[in-house]
Structure 1
Amino acid sequence: MANWSDPRPSAAAYAPGVSRADFDAGLRSYMLSVYNYMMSGVLLTGVVALLFSQTGWVQLMFNPNGGASGLGWLITLSPLAVVFAMSFGQSRMSTGTLQLLFWIYAGLMGLSLSTIFLVYTSTSIAQVFFATAAGFGALSLYGYTTKRDLSGLGTFLIMGLVGLIVAMLLNLLFFRSGEMNLVISAIGVLIFAGLTAYDTQKIKSIYAHVAGTEMVGKVVIMGALNLYLDFINMFLFLLRLFGSSRN
């Protein structure tokens, strides 16, 4: 069980015979790998989204009378299928398979998010992206350095996320309220801001249990996926709040 009261567990407690200096060096390398994968995934998503938005294919995601087409639904739901496959199959998959699925997921997300370039101005997308990056960096740094136990906060935020998804579905299917959409977006930003700090601390703590094992590679990929999802969702909710519409 992770020592949540101190996110920097001693080397002696988890890795007998390993010096604190070696443990800390391994931890830094591990976290750097997580961030490299996460940032590379975000970059791939952004590039794919931008390039796909400039082709005529993006228009095929919509029906002439409005709403998503069959292709649109396929592109939208495909990333969800990949996430479920990674989450529930990680114990049976090799590190290489998880890496491949991560890149596939980031690319599919790029196709799915290409429509934001049809809705919002490029300037506002860039501004919100860099604001998200700054906020994400600060929150992740807090999660990495704080000695406060964030596990209770994580449980609360996950419960809040479930409620948020329910509220989004109700608003989409029944209420269709612009005011409720703004409230949902604001709450979404707060939830994923908190999850960024919580997930960073959790990923850091897990290292003590996998250091020196073949599980490290898998944990790096899944940790990067968690932080990627925090970043992307925080970006999308901020975009809904502050993005400038093309109309």
Structure 2
Amino acid sequence: MFLVGLTGGISTGKSTVSKLFTALSVPIIDADIIARRVVQPGRRANKRIRKNFGDEVFQADGNLNRELLGKIIFNDANKRRQLNSITHPEIFREMCWEILYYFGKGYKFVIMDSPLLFESGTWVNYLKCTIVVSCEENLQLQRLMQRNQLSETDAVARIKAQMPLSEKISKADYVIENSGTLEDTKRQVTEIYNKLDNSKAYLTVRISAFILFALFTGGVSVMISWFFSP
């Protein structure tokens, strides 16, 4: 099994692309979903956020006040880095468990869906390839303002808080242009899927895993034989 990174700018349509891959039976490990899970009440990240950001960024039921926390971190780079230092290790750990799960299921590849794929750099060296979802700048701004009910100033601040889309595109192996129709986006996703599905890269990982397993179990057998030998 090999790993494919999926990212894009905020409101460029990454979620749409992710759903299209899901429809093709590709497992998706979604960093956003995991990020919401690791900050739930009682979790370690939840407690650390309260300690570092105060009670005001929490609702009465112990869940994060995401709107307020978002305003803080998207306007303060230091606070954003502080929050990332709390959540990223927890997210990484849970993503690793999901990778092992899908590896055990025998999938050829999985998609690592992460809005900060290049910014964090955590997974880049482990990826077979990367996909960036792009769209026109004006369309991105309009989508974000409508989706999150933001003013233009707040929307621009959130876009600028991420790596420039042009820089992400320069790092990508595949780019999906999502300014057109859903059918056009679906066509691009299907083309990339066919290339990934026909790749034999997953065999290298399976063979390597088998060799490591054989060496480990063989080594254990030798040690047991030596220990119990006369």
Tell me the TM-score normalized by structure 2.
Answer: 0.31
In terms of fraction of residues, the more strand-rich structure is 2
Tell me the TM-score normalized by structure 1.
Answer: 0.29
